[in-house]
Amino acid sequence: MKLKRLAGYSLLVASILNANDGFNSELSHFAGGAVMAGGITAVVDRFYPEYRSDRGMIGFGISSAAIAAEQGIEYALHGNGRGQLIDIASHVAGSALGAFVTDQYILSPVFQNSASEGKYLGMSLQHTF
């Protein structure tokens, strides 16, 4: 019930607000992209371990595809192609950062509680020369 109420309020607020192409609007698209891609990356890591090696690219790809589809619908309904492209670019840049940071720095540390090795925290870093 709470989820339905939250969705209803979100739709009401979204229908009242008007977007612009200002700095704050694009910053919100950037931040939204970072959060969305990071969340998708974490979900792939948790629930789809067979895709763990590609989790960052999956998070980036799904987030970028979702904003492209959403902005395509906005363009079809309201026009303003330039504004929609700026929104997509901001979101995709945020998605790239969010997926990378989540993949490399948030999900890479390993917390282990092994009966044979005990408790430990580890992080794997590598660099190709």
Spans of all domains in the chain = 22-108
Strand partners, 113: 119
Answer whether 51's CB lies under 8 Å from 103's CB. Answer: no
CA distance 48 to 42: 10
CA distance 83 to 105: 33
**pLDDT reported for residue 23:** 82
Name the pTM for this structure: 0.71
Strand partners, 120: 112
Q: How far is CA 110 from the centre of its chain?
A: 22
**pLDDT reported for residue 128:** 72
- Rounded average pLDDT per 10-residue block, the chain, 129 residues: 57 52 86 94 91 93 94 89 92 95 82 69 64
Residue 37 DSSP SS3: helix
**pLDDT reported for residue 15:** 46
Distances (CA, A) of 56 to 36, 43, 59, 84, 100: 12, 11, 5, 25, 6
**Tokens at 34, concatenated:** 């970072």
Answer whether 28's CB lies under 8 Å from 92's CB. Answer: no
